[in-house]
Amino acid sequence: MRINNVEISNFRILKSISTKMTEMMLLVGKNSSGKTSYFEIFDIFYGNKKFILSDFSKGLISKTIINSIYKDFKDLKNMDEESINKLIQRFPVIELKLTLDLSDIKDYSKIKPLIYEFQNNESLILVSRYKISNIVNFIKNYEEYKQKIEEKYKGVIDFFDYFIDEYENYYKVEHYTTKLGKHSKSPLIDNKIIEDIFRINIIKARRDVDDATDQNKQTISASLWKYFQLTNKSEVKHKHLFANQTS
């Protein structure tokens, strides 16, 4: 299975990008241009890390935006499902889409949850989203809390403040697959299944090292050096030459 294309939306500085993938990719850019974020979104969606409020792209969450959504939810009891879904879509969402090439897979049983009932399984799109869920309870709990604040403390809390404090209790990660140009999608896929299929390993760079005479202070971080040794299953000779070539 190969990844042919990566799309990232609303994650930190990466508000909307699409990248065609090859067998080997080299990601180059200035500091704070999104290189680390590009890899960390994989680690969060397919690993054990969690999203935090600052992971949403700048400008997606503001008092004006969040409170305006709540104002349109005031008549929740009289809204039909379609109207509720349209309002839900106005809440910020972090999204990762992978276009997967399955043409080289011989045993589809290993990825059965991904292929669902789609025809022509040579390629499909895995969609991972961090989105709001159970908006009805969110609104209901806010209004109950708001009433308590007003009655007990004669205070006021608007929906934006409640959202900032409680959003992580109502946001969740979901995964599903779909086909290019199709509206149908698979049932939601459990996180554990995704974690079993995808393995993400990230070695973070160290910016405070530039001494090729000390193995612990080489331009390549100590962690990367150990990883390099393990993958080659032998101690690397001429370490100083290797360090100089990669500085």
Domain boundary among 197, 214, 235: 197
Among 180, 197, 214, give the residue marking a domain's end.
Answer: 197
Mean pLDDT for 104-128 is 77
Long-range contacts of 17-26 (CB under 8 A, 24+ apart): none
Averaged pLDDT, 122-145: 90
Name 172's Cβ contacts closer than 8 Å, sequence gap at least 6. 130, 131, 133
Provide CB contacts within 8 A for 182, sequence distance 6+: 118
Average pLDDT for residues 188-207, to the nearest whole number? 75
Q: Domain boundary at 197, 220, 235, which?
A: 197
Give the residue numbers spanning the domain of 236: 203-247
For residues 81 and 27, state if they share a domain: yes
Q: pLDDT tens, 198-234?
A: 777 766 655 555 455 555 555 555 565 566 666 655 4
User: What is the model's pLDDT at position 227?
Assistant: 63
Q: Which of 186-190, 220-224, 233-237 has the highest mean pLDDT?
A: 186-190
More confident residue, 134 or 92: 92
Same domain as 80, residue 7: yes
Query: Does one domain contain both 6 and 63?
Result: yes
How many domains does the chain divide into? 2
Top-confidence residue, 152 or 204: 152
pLDDT of residue 36: 87
pLDDT at residue 172 is higher than 90: yes
Task: Quote the pLDDT of residue 127.
Answer: 95
Which of 9-18, 114-123, 143-152 has the highest mean predicted lDDT (pLDDT)?
9-18
d(CA 121, CA 102): 7
> Do residues 70 and 19 share a domain?
yes
Q: What is the pTM of this model?
A: 0.77
Please give the Cα distance from 242 to 215 (Å, whole number): 11
Q: Are residues 179 and 221 in the same domain?
A: no
Lowest mean pLDDT segment, chosen from 18-27, 90-99, 110-119, 234-243: 234-243
**How many Cβ atoms from other residues are within 10 Å of residue 46's Cβ?**
21
Q: Are 169 and 214 members of one domain?
A: no
| pLDDT of amino acid 32 | 81
Q: What is the pLDDT of residue 244?
A: 41
CA 113: distance to chain centroid?
A: 20
Q: Is the pLDDT of residue 62 over 90?
A: yes
Q: Are residues 89 and 152 in the same domain?
A: yes
142 shares its domain with 221: no
| Judgement on whether residues 89 and 110 belong to the same structural domain of the protein | yes
Question: Which residue would you say has higher pLDDT here, 119 or 85?
Answer: 85
Where is pLDDT greater, at 49 or 222?
49
**What pLDDT score does 240 carry?**
44
Residues 166 and 207 both lie in one domain: no
What is the reported pLDDT for 15? 95
- pLDDT recorded at residue 236: 45
Give the pLDDT mean for 23-31.
Answer: 78
Single-letter amino acid, residue 185: K
- What average pLDDT does the chain have? 80
Both 137 and 85 in a single domain? yes
Residues 89, 208, single domain; the answer is no
